[in-house]
Amino acid sequence: MNKPDNPGTAGHYAPWLADTHRRVRAGLARLHPWLAEFIIFGFKQGWACLFGGLMLGMLIVSKLIWQPHWPMARYDALLIAAFLVQAAMLALKLETWEEAKVIFLFHLVGTAMEVFKTAMGSWSYPEPSLIRIGDVPLFTGFMYACVGSYIARVIRIFDMRFVGYPPFWATMLLAGAIYVNFFSHHYVWDARYVLFACTFLVFWRTRIYFTVDVTARWMPLLLAAFLTSVFLWIAENIGTVTGTWLYPNQKGAGWRPVTLHKMGAWYLLLVISFVLVTLVHRPDRRDGPANPS
């Protein structure tokens, strides 16, 4: 527990957090190493989810307090709030400009998908708004950007490196096919199960090596994508229970949980997300440690 501060931690970009970081580490030194590492892991994951956590918090709070007669629509307020959060994170050095590029890229890709999907009736936004494209309030692009922000930040915070990473062209081809299928399955055969198999063919050898505190550990990239998709499914339930967006089966008869089928869609979207992040941050392919745990 006496390892020097890792430059991959949040303190590297937010110097004012360094003292707090040292104090937390000193307190955790009194705990069993496994428990201390578990707490650090949870804290760092939460830190990586900062933007997404703030967005979910804003969905919940705005749903609880917003009144229909207020001069600004809730969706428009969420868009302004998301911009302010981004500006604050950059000003406080909680986020880098490289990560901001990732967020902008996700906003564009996500908004394009939203415009199409809402037109096809896959889901809808039941509340009015002024700032929108078609039936899509523009704050929704930030919901996709939360995923990109998390991936970019978690790579930095855990000092991740990748072993067995496939060729760049293969990942781009796979991501492109997945993205096209999100549109084309409305007109032709849904190829998602073939694409599931393709993700295994492309990434089955890829391991993520990461450092929580002192000991280097590893996880298959596809397992990380699956576990992340579970948490995104939970987040999506928060979005629907607050009425921010609704699926057809959630209208009229009252709210019901998002189907587990959507977890597969999130898994595929996470593959796209990871490849998009590599457009800005090429993966660190350095060899993993000789004796990872």
CA 285 – CA 272 distance, rounded (Å)? 19
Mean pLDDT of 126-139: 94
CA 213 – CA 156 distance, rounded (Å)? 14
The pLDDT value recorded for residue 289 is: 55
pLDDT digits (tens, 9 = 90+) for 143-193: 998 998 899 889 888 989 989 999 999 999 999 999 999 999 999 999 999
pLDDT digits (tens, 9 = 90+) for 48-75: 999 999 999 999 999 999 998 999 999 9
Neighbouring C-alpha atoms within 13 Å toward the C-beta of 137: 22
The pLDDT value recorded for residue 4 is: 34
Q: How, if at all, do strands 207-211 and 161-163 pair? A: antiparallel
The label of the residue with tokens 């892991």 reads 41
Closest CA to 132 of 151, 119, 150: 119
263-276: burial string, b at 16+ Cβ within 10 Å, e else: bbbbbbbbbbbbbb
Neighbouring C-alpha atoms within 13 Å toward the C-beta of 247: 14
The label of the residue with tokens 């900062």 reads 50
Under 8 Å between Cβ of 162 and 283: yes
For the chain, give the longest Cα–Cα distance.
Answer: 62
Confidence of residue 18 (pLDDT cuts 50, 70, 90): low
Give me 248's structure tokens.
């057809």
The pLDDT value recorded for residue 83 is: 93
The pLDDT value recorded for residue 7 is: 38
CA 251 – CA 95 distance, rounded (Å)? 38
Give me 135's structure tokens.
């039936």
Mean pLDDT of 257-278: 90
Under 8 Å between Cβ of 238 and 186: no
CA geometry: angle at 144 spanning 202 and 42, to 5°?
80
Residue 194 has a CB neighbour count (10 Å cut-off) of 11
CA 225 – CA 214 distance, rounded (Å)? 24
Asked if the model's pLDDT at residue 239 lies above 70, the reply is yes
- 3 state SS for 83-132: HHHHHHHHHCCCCCHHHHHHHHHHHHHHHHHHHHHHHCCCCECCCCCCCE
Average pLDDT, the chain: 86
Helices (H), 221-293: 221-241, 261-280
Mean pLDDT of 73-99: 91
Which residue type is seen at 137? P
Helices 261-280 & 168-184 angle (0-180, nearest 10):
140
Q: Residue 137 gets which letter from DSSP? A: E
